[in-house]
Amino acid sequence: MTDDERFALLVGVMGKSELWPLRDERIPEGTPMSAGYVPGVPRLGVPALKMSDASLGVTNPGFRPGDTATALPASLALAASFNPALSRASGQAIAREARSRGFNVLLAGGINLARDPRNGRNFEYLSEDPLLSGIMAAESIIGIQQEGVISTAKHYCLNCNETNRHWLDAVIDPDAHRESDLLAFEIAIERAQPGAVMTAYNKVNGDYAAANTVLINDVLKGAWGYRGWAMSDWGGTPGWECALAGLDQECGAQIDALLWQSEAFGDRLRAAYLDGRLPKERLSDMVRRILRSMFAVGIDQWEPVSAPDMAAHNEIALQIARQGIVLLQNRGVLPLKAAARIAVIGGYAQRGVPAGCGSSAVVPPGGYAEVIPIGGPGLAGGLRNLHLLPSSPLDEMRKRLPHAQIEFDPGISPAEAVLAARRADVVIVFAIRVEGEGVDIPDLSLPWGQDALIAAVAAANPNTAVVLETGNPVVMPWRDSVNAIVQAWYPGQAGGQAIAEVLAGEVNPSGRLPLTFPVDLGQTPRPQLPELGAPWGTPSTIHYCEGAEVGYRWYARTGQAPMFAFGHGLSYTGFEYRELAVTGEDTVIASFTVVNTGDRAGADVPQLYLTAAPGEPRSRLLGFERVELEPGQARRVTLRADPRLLARYDAGCWRIEPGGYPVAVGASAVDLKLAAEVELARRAFRR
C-alpha cells in the first residue's frame, strides 16, 4: 500500500444529509449512505467501509428516501428475555438487512452498563450487570459477523450519561472499572471478537476515551490482546495524538473539524508521520488492524445473497417483545377475561408504540405511524421526536378479544379518562416517555401528567393495569392503587401485538428486569447528577463512586430495598427451585431443578448469585438460564461461574481469596430461594 492508501483507511466521513448538508468528495457519487464511509483500496481488493447504525436495526437518517428496515425492540427488552439465542438471531437479522443495502459495518454492540436510570440511551444498552450485558452483546455480535458484516462494541468506555458527554470526565477506580463496565466489554470481546470497538465521547479518569492509552493500549490491546481496530465515535477524536494512545480510525471527521478546528487523522496526522512523531510501525499497526477485521469477517469475499426475509425478521422482533415484556405486579386483573368491558387509555395506544430517539432510530416497514416532534436544546433536540411504530396495542387487543367491549380514551384529561374508567370492568393505561441520545432525563417521573392520570383512573376503577412503554425505570406513586403493572419498554415494530398477547393471556410473560427499578432517585448513587441542565459545552465530572457496585450490587451493598429488583418478573404460572448442589475448587458449579408448579406452560429465568465473599459483602450474578416448561415439567439446570465474578481485580490481577463463598438461586437479586456455600482456594490469574 502507498502512504496515501494507508491514510485513507484511517478517516471515516459522513454523507450529505439533513443533519450534515455538505457533500464530501471522498464519497463516490451513488454510494449507499448511512452513518459513515471510509474509502477502500480498489486496486488491492480492499473494500470501502460502509457503516450503518445500530443495534436496533439499519437506520436511515435521511439518506435513502423511503427505505425502511426491521425496527427491533429496545436492547433492554432483548436483555430482559435473558435469551442469548434470541440475541444472536436479532444480530443475524439486522446484518442481513444491512448487507442487502451494501453496508458492511454495523455500529451495533451498545454495551455500556445502565448505571444511571436517567441516561437517555439506556434503551440502546442491555443491563446493569456485566455478565448479562457481555453475553447478550456477544451473541448479537456473533450473529452480525456470521452474516459477513463487521460489528462493533461501544461506547468504550463508561459512557453512562449523556449530559454534555463531549465534556464529561467519568471518574472511577480503575480496578472497579475492570469488575464492571470493562468486564462487560471483556466478556463480549473474548466471546465474539467484534471487528471494531468504538471509543466513547467522554473522558475516563481525565483522558478522552479516544486518547486514553490505559484503556486502549494497556487494557483493550494489551491485557485482552484485542486484534481488531479502535474507531472513534462521530466527532470524538480530539487530536492526532489519539493515534499514539491506540485509536486506529477517526470517524465523523467533519464533526471533529467543527469541534476541534481540524480533522485529527488528516493533514495533522500526516505531518506527525512525516516528522517522525507518528512511528511507521504505529501507522502499519493501525492499517493492519482494520484490514485484519475486514478479512476475518470476510467483507472482501461477499457473494450475492438473497433478499432478507422481512416476515421472519418481524417474527424475531415479535419474539423479543414477547419475551422482553416484564410483568412487574399482578393482583389478578391479568390475563384479561374474554368478555370484559375494557377501557384502553393513553400512550397513543390507538396509533402505535414508541421507540427511542437518536442515532439508533429505525424507520420501520411502511414508515412510522406518527412522528411527533418533541424538540429541545442542542443537537439532540433536533433528533428528539416521539416516533410511533405502526403496531397499535388497541387494534391488536380488539383482534385478540373479539367478544370484549373495548373503548379508547386518549388520556389527555384525567376527568375524561375517569368517565371511561367508570364504564369499564377493567382499565389498561398506557404510559410513555420520550427518551434518547444526548439527553439525561432529570427525574424518573412520567411526563405530560400521566402520573396524575393513572392515579385518577385507579381511584375510579381498582381493576386498573398500567403498561409502561419507557426506555428506563420510572417512579410509580400510584403503584399501590393499581392492580397490575407491565413493563413493555420500547417494544419494537411488533410491540402492539406482543403487548396484546400478554394482556389477553395468549403469551405467558417471562421477561426479567435487566436493571433495577428504584423507589426514587434517592436510592441511587447520585441523586443529584453533576451539571445536569448546564449549558451546552459545560465541562463536568461524574465520580462513579459506586465503582463495581452497579445496580443490584449497589442495593445489596447499601441494604436498600428497591421498588422492583434486578431479575424480577412474574408469570401466569408458578415455578419452584429444588435440590441445589454446589461444588467449589477453581470456581462455583451449581446444579438445581426448576419445576413449573402451575397449570400452564411458561418460561422462567432462575439466577445464581454470589451473596458474599470472605470478609466482605459482595453480590454478583454468577449465571442464569431461561427455561421453558410445560405444567408439572421439571428441568435440571447447571451453571458454572466465570471465576472473574468470584474475584476482585487488584492491580493487574484477578484474585480469589480462600474461604467460604455463599451462593443462592433466586427469582431475582432479592428473591433468593435456595442457598449453599462452597470453599474456594486462593487463586490469582490475569484473565
Q: Which is nearer to ligand GLC, 26 or 423 (CB)?
A: 26
Q: Does 58 bind ligand GLC (CB under 6 A)?
A: no
Minimum Å gap between C-beta 199 and ligand GLC is: 10
Nearest distance in Å: CB 497, ligand GLC = 29
Nearer to ligand GLC, 259 or 676 (CB): 259
Least Å distance between CB 252 and ligand GLC?
Answer: 6
Q: How far is the CB of 152 from ligand GLC (least distance, A)?
A: 8
Residue number, 199 or 587, with CB nearest to ligand GLC? 199
Q: Is 359 in the site for ligand GLC (CB under 6 A)?
A: yes
Question: Nearer to ligand GLC by C-beta: 349 or 380?
Answer: 380
* Binding letters toward ligand GLC, positions 147-166, x by CB under 6 A: -------x------------
Closer Cβ to ligand GLC, 129 or 162, answer by number = 162
Among residues 74, 93, 107, 678, the one that binds ligand GLC under rule CB under 6 A: 107
- Min. distance of Cβ 533 from ligand GLC in angstroms? 21
Q: Are 314 and 489 in contact (CB under 8 A)?
A: no
Closest CA to 33 of 17, 44, 46: 17
Q: Round to whole Å and give the CA distance between 298 and 99.
A: 12
What's the CA angle centered on 464, arms 461 and 470, to 5 degrees? 140
Question: Which residues are paired to 371 by β-bridges?
Answer: 387
Minimum distance between the CB of residue 56 and ligand GLC, rounded to whole angstroms?
Answer: 11
- Minimum Å gap between C-beta 154 and ligand GLC is 6
Specify the residue, 181 or 549, whose C-beta has the smaller distance to ligand GLC.
181
**Count of residues for the chain?**
687
Q: Position 52: which residue type?
A: S
Residue from 375, 515, 533, 526 nearest 442 by CA: 533
162 or 409: whose CB is closer to ligand GLC?
162
CA dist., res. 616 & res. 557, Å (int): 10
Give how many residues touch ligand GLC by CB under 6 A: 8
Determine, following the binding rule CB under 6 A, whether residue 357 of this chain makes contact with ligand GLC.
Answer: no
Which residue, 622, 649, 565, 518, is CA-closest to 172? 649
> Mind spelling out the 3-state secondary structure of 114-179?
CCCCCECCHHHCCCCCHHHHHHHHHHHHHHHHHCCCEEEEEEECCCCCCCCHHHEEEECCHHHHHC
Please say whether the beta carbons of 94 and 360 come within 8 A.
Answer: no
Q: Which of 53, 139, 396, 546 binds ligand GLC (CB under 6 A)?
A: 53
Distance CA 638, CA 129 (A): 20
In whole angstroms, how close is the CB of 293 to ligand GLC at the nearest point? 17
Report the residue from 9, 10, 35, 58 that binds ligand GLC according to the rule CB under 6 A.
35
Instruction: Tell whether residue 54 is a contact of ligand GLC (CB under 6 A).
Output: yes
- Please report whether residue 125 would count as binding ligand GLC according to CB under 6 A: no
Residue of 482, 557, 465, 550 lying closest to 516 (CA atoms): 550
Residue with cell 414508515: 367
Could you give the residue numbers annotated as active site? 233
Of 211-250, binders to ligand GLC (CB under 6 A) are 233-234
Residue 563 cell numbers, joined:
421498588
The phi-psi region of residue 254 (left if phi > 0; otherwise alpha if psi is between -120 and 50; otherwise beta) is alpha
**Of 54 and 138, CB closest to ligand GLC:** 54
DSSP-derived letter for residue 392 is -
The three three-digit cell numbers of residue 249, written as one number:
480510525
Query: Interface with ligand GLC by CB under 6 A: which residues?
Result: 35, 53-54, 107, 154, 233-234, 359
